[in-house]
Structure 1
Amino acid sequence: MSMNLLNIARTGVLASQSQLAVTSNNIANANTQGYHRQVAEQSSLESQRAGSEFYGSGTYISDVKRIYNDYAARELRIGQTGASEAQTTHTKMSELDQLFSQIGKAVPQGLNDFFAGLNSLSDLPDDIGIRGSVLGSAGQLASSLNQMQSHLDGQMKQTNDQIVGITDRINEISKELGHINQELMKSQGEDAQLLDKQDALIQELSQYSEVNVIPLDTGAKSIMLGGAVMLVSGEVSMSIGTTPGDPHANQSRISASVGSYSQVIDGSKLGGQIGALFEFRDDTLIKAQQELGQLSLGVADAFNQAQKEGFDLNGEVGQDIFKDINDPTMSVGRVGAFSSNNGAGLRVNIDDAGQLSGNSYELTYTAGAPDPYELKDTLTGNITPLTLNGTQLDGANGFTIHINTPGLADGDKFEIRPAAGAAAGIGVVMTDPKGIAAAAPKISPDAANSGNTEIEMVSIDNRGNLNFPLTGSELTFVIDTGANTYEVFDVNGAIVGGANVPFTTINPPTISAYGFTFGVTSTAAVTDTFTFDLAFAPGDNTNSVAMSKLSETKLMNGGTSTLADVYQGTKLSIGGKTKAAEVAMGSAQAVYSQAYSRVQSESGVNIDEEAANLLRFQQAYQASARIMTTASEIFDTLFSSTR
């Protein structure tokens, strides 16, 4: 019997040792990130028969279990993905909001200073000092737009670099998970330390993207990103990387590859930090760049057009203050051709910056379709059929598209960004302060005109011409846009220069006569009348007053916004998105914290509980040891009794 007691005691001591070891390991790893609590399951050994009774033969450790809840772990991954996505969105939006609120305040300030200078010029239109100040303010405005675009470009580069950094880390995790899977296959998924390491890597991966975990019979796990991209399948790891965007190379894309196979992934659908970065870049940052470019086009177009309606200090028709809106440096990036295209390229010409919306468009060509050329607004989804006139596509608001020879091929697709490049390219081209057109000619349309014909001064060629129209000797032009002819009458109604004089119809149609040239634009074949008084006085401020009033004129977005409204609208939109991102981040963090607490309640180490277990197993060990002592004493007594 004492030998049985000794064996029972031995099993008790060994079991208690194992329990103490597991408990000690739990306590030692209480602060180890990703550690899952372990529990030693203790069972009784089979009973032994002695006579008519069965007696227990001791105990043993049947299993050491890792406390793990698949559902709780899945909820934690989902919470981690949402929290990381919301945090990244808030961080990026806060950076952009700060950029517009601090550095970007130079843009509206520059616009205000420019208008203030024009107001001062209206008081003293012939003051060279004030004129120089106006040009200086124009230069500051252009510089602030250039600087703002430079910062937005920096945001674009930083975002792309962050995407590259995340993909590099995902590749490292992918390789590590592949190696862990190989080791787990050897132990059929029983190595708790490897499982903890695997879960920690998967949890980190869930920061970067949505993660789906598929347990395998071999003990390994397959990992999918975004529910569509297999990153790890058993011991096989796929790698992801970045490639130049299509059609815009500076908008990096993500591609996944294994062996010789590769596929492009829509990064915005991956979720997590990657999804947030793609959404921020494609939906907010590019939109902000477009709207800044829209403002730049509006400024250049409005004041260059205003210049053409006035006389400078030399009595000549005003020339551009800013670069022409279709200057090559102002039009960089307006057209992005997809790599799958087989036809010719395009060129976009801005006709009226006030009609632009700041949106991007997708142009597709489908040979043989009722409307082969379709322009889709990528924000609203509205589709506009375009009409081909020669090599020009008409029908878009504010711009026309020119097709290079030999033409487009079926299926060709382009992304059109009318305002791209404008904020980086805008600059002041006027160097002589005398060039500011503060004065204005008096061109009066007849009350009976159809309204279909518009004229625009092109140049003053010879103020010494005998019939040059001055106050008291005005000239009246009767223009027939159907026959492309005109007649001129003096103040007494007498015809000057003959009847039905033809004028050039070369685009744009122009009439040059009696010392000046003007352009004619008409939307119908009509006969309209205009009276010209081109007298010039250095003290005339008519056109400078008109230019100063552009501050409150709704020139933009189809006549619904002022120049300042365009920038303010962008700023308010970014501020609203930043606040929404802050609220979303708070909600996502709450969901994550709840999921984390659940995992900790099940798998985390409770020091108080483990301390109590430690004391309990220590007492069990001591009791088993005492049984061994008792068994030894009984054995000694038996030996003594036989002597």
Structure 2
Amino acid sequence: MSMDLLNIARTGVLASQSQLAVTSNNITNANTEGYHRQVAHQSSLDTQRMGNSYFGAGTYISDVKRIYNEYASRELRIGQTAMSQAQATDIKMSEMDQLFSQIGKSIPQGLSDLFAGLNSLADLPDDLGIRGSVLGNADQIASALNQMQSHLDGQMSQTNDQIAAITDRINEISTELGHINQELMKSQGQDMGLLDQQDALIKELSEYGQVNVIPLESGAKSIMLGGSVMLVSGQVSMQMSTTTGDPYPGELRIQTSSGAQNLVVDPSKMGGSLGALFQFRDETLIPAQLEVNQLALGVADAFNQAQQDGFDLYGEVGENIFVDINDPSMANGRVGAYGNNTGNAALRVNIDDVGALTGSSYELSFTAPSTYELKDNVSGAVTPLTLVGSELQGGDGFTLHIDSGALASGDRFEIRPTSGAASGIAVEMTDAKKLAAAGPTISADAANSGNTDVKMVSIDDRNAANFPVTGSELTFEINTTTNTFEVFDANGTSLGAPAAYTPPNISAYGFTFEVESTAGATDRFTFDLSFAPGDNSNAVAMAGLSDSKIMNNGTSTLSDVYEQTKLSIGGKAKAAQVALGSAEAVYTQAYNRVQSESGVNLDEEAANLMRFQQAYQASARIMTTANEIFNTLFSSVR
């Protein structure tokens, strides 16, 4: 009996020792990130029959389990993904908000200074000092737009670097998870230390994207990222990489590869900080760039057009202040061809009407034999285009030119009509005397159809016979159906039979003007091209551009374009802050739930430590008692 008692005591000591070891391990790992509490399950040994009775034979540790709730862990991963996405969005939007509200304030200030200079020029149109100051103001706004584009390019570069860095870390995690799976297969998923490492890596992975975990019978786990990318399959790890953008190389994409197969990942399904970076780039950064470029086009075109409506100090029609809006330096990046196109067409975008531009990007698609469609990437509206010669007409303020080659059925292009303007805008006027402060008088007849307009092109010879001045005005009757014109003097007398002209320009009596027509009609325009050095009419008109709604189809001023973009960025930044607060609350709730089940409670473990210590001491006391009984028995038979 004493031998059985000794054996029972031995099992109790061993069981209590194991319980103490597990409890001690829990206590020492209480602050270890990703550690899951362990519990030793104690069971009775099979009873032994002695005579007609059954007696217990002791105890043993039947299992040591890791406290893990798959549902709670999944909710924690979902919360982690949402919080990381919200954090990344908040950081990027905060940077953009500061960029537009702090650094970018030089743009509205530059516009304000330019208009202030033009008001001063209107007061003293012959003052060369004021004229030089106006050119300086023009250079200031151009430099401000250049600087803003440079900062936005920096944001694009930074975002690409962040995408590449996260992709590299995902690859490292994928490799580590593959190795852990390999080891878990050997232990059939029983190694609790490896399981903790696995969960910690999966949780980190959920920061970068949405994670789906698929448990395998072998004890390993397969991992899907973004709902569609198999990142880890058993012990096989896939790799992700960055590749050049399509159709714009500078806008990185990510792809996953296994062997020789590559698959481009859809970032809209990714989630996490990686998905947030793509969302920020595609839905905020690129549109903001296009809107700043739209403003640059508006500034350059508005003042260049205004110059053409006036005379400089030399008596000539005003020249461009800024680089022409369709100059190659202003048109960089307007067309991007997709890499899977089979045609060889080279396209070019020509801006026809800056006021009709929306700041959107478009997708041009071609279906043989003659279907050209332009889809607005913001509104989704599809507009059919008409091919006239080598021009595709019907865009919102722009025309597409096929400079060479041909489109093949299925070819697609991304069209960004405003792209490149903010980096390319520059002042090309160097002579302040060429600012066109004076203005001609061109009057349209009240009975005109409204389908025809005229614009000065040049003064060729002010000494030409019948050159129109005050008191000797000339009236041109223009037939845009037959492309002929007839000229009448101030008394209404015809100066000759109708003459033919080659559209769009008419040159006669010492000057040239352009005829713009939307439909055939016969309309009359009276010209008074008198020039006086003190004339300020065109300077007044240019200063009035500050309040003119010449952008976005007549709904916005130049300043409004920037302010609307800034307000949109500010609104998104505020929304990102609110979303972050909500995401943090959801994550905290999920985290607390996991901790309540799997985390270490030091008070509980301290109580267990005392309980198992007492059990150990009691079992040891039984061993002492058994030993005494055994010795007594031996003594009695000596």
**How is 1:117-266 mapped onto 2 (pairs within 5 angstroms)?**
117-266=117-266
Rounded Cα–Cα distance in structure 2 between residues aligned with 1:585 and 1:150: 29
**Which residue is equivalent to 1:460?**
459
**Which residue is equivalent to 2:352?**
351
Which whole-Å deviations, capped at 9, do the CAs of 1:523-543 have from their partners, x for residues lacking one?
222111111111101111100
Identity %: 72
**Which residue is equivalent to 1:593?**
588
Give the C-alpha shift of residue 493 in structure 1: 2.1
Rounded Cα–Cα distance in structure 2 between residues aligned with 1:574 and 1:406: 40
**How is 1:398-547 mapped onto 2 (pairs within 5 angstroms)?**
398-496=397-495, 498-505=496-503, 509-547=504-542
- What is the letter of the counterpart of residue 625 of structure 1? A
Give the C-alpha shift of residue 502 in structure 1: 1.2
**How is 1:365-404 mapped onto 2 (pairs within 5 angstroms)?**
365-368=366-369, 372-404=371-403
**Which residue is equivalent to 2:111?**
111
Give the C-alpha shift of residue 251 in structure 1: 0.7
Rounded Cα–Cα distance in structure 2 between residues aligned with 1:27 and 1:104: 55
CA contact (8 A) 1:3 1:631 kept: yes
**Which residue is equivalent to 1:44?**
44
Which whole-Å deviations, capped at 9, do the CAs of 1:52-96 have from their partners, x for residues lacking one?
110101000000000000000000000000000001001100000
| 1:495 aligned counterpart, secondary structure | coil
Rounded Cα–Cα distance in structure 2 between residues aligned with 1:342 and 1:16: 76
**Which residue is equivalent to 1:611?**
606
CA contact (8 A) 1:214 1:223 kept: yes
**Which residue is equivalent to 2:278?**
278
Rounded Cα–Cα distance in structure 2 between residues aligned with 1:451 and 1:336: 38
CA contact (8 A) 1:77 1:211 kept: yes
Asked if 1:307 is matched to 2:307, the reply is yes
Which deviates more, 335-344 or 35-44? 335-344
RMSD between superposed Cα atoms in Å: 0.7
CA contact (8 A) 2:347 2:404 kept: no
| 1:499 aligned counterpart, secondary structure | coil
**Which residue is equivalent to 2:92?**
92
Which deviates more, 397-406 or 418-427? 397-406
Give the C-alpha shift of residue 107 in structure 1: 0.5
Rounded Cα–Cα distance in structure 1 between residues aligned with 2:23 and 2:447: 100
Which deviates more, 461-470 or 325-334? 461-470
Note the residue ranges of structure 2 that are not aligned, 5 or more in a row.
none
Which whole-Å deviations, capped at 9, do the CAs of 1:469-497 have from their partners, x for residues lacking one?
1111111111111121111111122222x
Rounded Cα–Cα distance in structure 2 between residues aligned with 1:502 and 1:417: 39
**Which residue is equivalent to 2:298?**
298
Which whole-Å deviations, capped at 9, do the CAs of 1:579-623 have from their partners, x for residues lacking one?
111111100110000000000000000001000000000000000
CA contact (8 A) 1:445 1:529 kept: yes
Give the C-alpha shift of residue 340 in structure 1: 1.1
CA contact (8 A) 1:301 1:352 kept: no
Rounded Cα–Cα distance in structure 2 between residues aligned with 1:431 and 1:602: 75
Give the C-alpha shift of residue 147 in structure 1: 0.1
Give the C-alpha shift of residue 359 in structure 1: 0.4
Q: Which runs of 4+ in 1 moved over 4 A?
A: none
Give the C-alpha shift of residue 257 in structure 1: 0.2
Decide which of 544, 565, 569 is 1:549's aligned counterpart.
544
| 2:62 aligned counterpart, secondary structure | strand
Give the C-alpha shift of residue 403 in structure 1: 1.1
Which whole-Å deviations, capped at 9, do the CAs of 1:97-116 have from their partners, x for residues lacking one?
01001000000000101011
CA contact (8 A) 2:227 2:269 kept: no
Which whole-Å deviations, capped at 9, do the CAs of 1:380-437 have from their partners, x for residues lacking one?
0000011110010111111000113332111110000000000000010101111110
**Which residue is equivalent to 1:81?**
81
TM-score of the pair, normalised by structure 1: 0.98
CA contact (8 A) 2:106 2:144 kept: yes
**Which residue is equivalent to 2:31?**
31
| 2:550 aligned counterpart, secondary structure | coil
Give the C-alpha shift of residue 503 in structure 1: 1.1
CA contact (8 A) 2:42 2:60 kept: yes
**How is 1:315-354 mapped onto 2 (pairs within 5 angstroms)?**
315-343=315-343, 344-354=345-355
CA contact (8 A) 2:132 2:432 kept: yes
Rounded Cα–Cα distance in structure 1 between residues aligned with 2:27 and 2:405: 77
Rounded Cα–Cα distance in structure 2 between residues aligned with 1:364 and 1:67: 56
Which deviates more, 390-399 or 474-483? 474-483
- What is the letter of the counterpart of residue 560 of structure 2? D
Rounded Cα–Cα distance in structure 2 between residues aligned with 1:523 and 1:212: 59
CA contact (8 A) 1:268 1:274 kept: no
Rounded Cα–Cα distance in structure 2 between residues aligned with 1:405 and 1:51: 107
Which whole-Å deviations, capped at 9, do the CAs of 1:29-70 have from their partners, x for residues lacking one?
000000000000000001111111101010000000000000
Rounded Cα–Cα distance in structure 2 between residues aligned with 1:20 and 1:492: 118
Which deviates more, 466-475 or 195-204? 466-475
CA contact (8 A) 1:306 1:547 kept: yes
How many positions carry a matched residue from both structures? 637
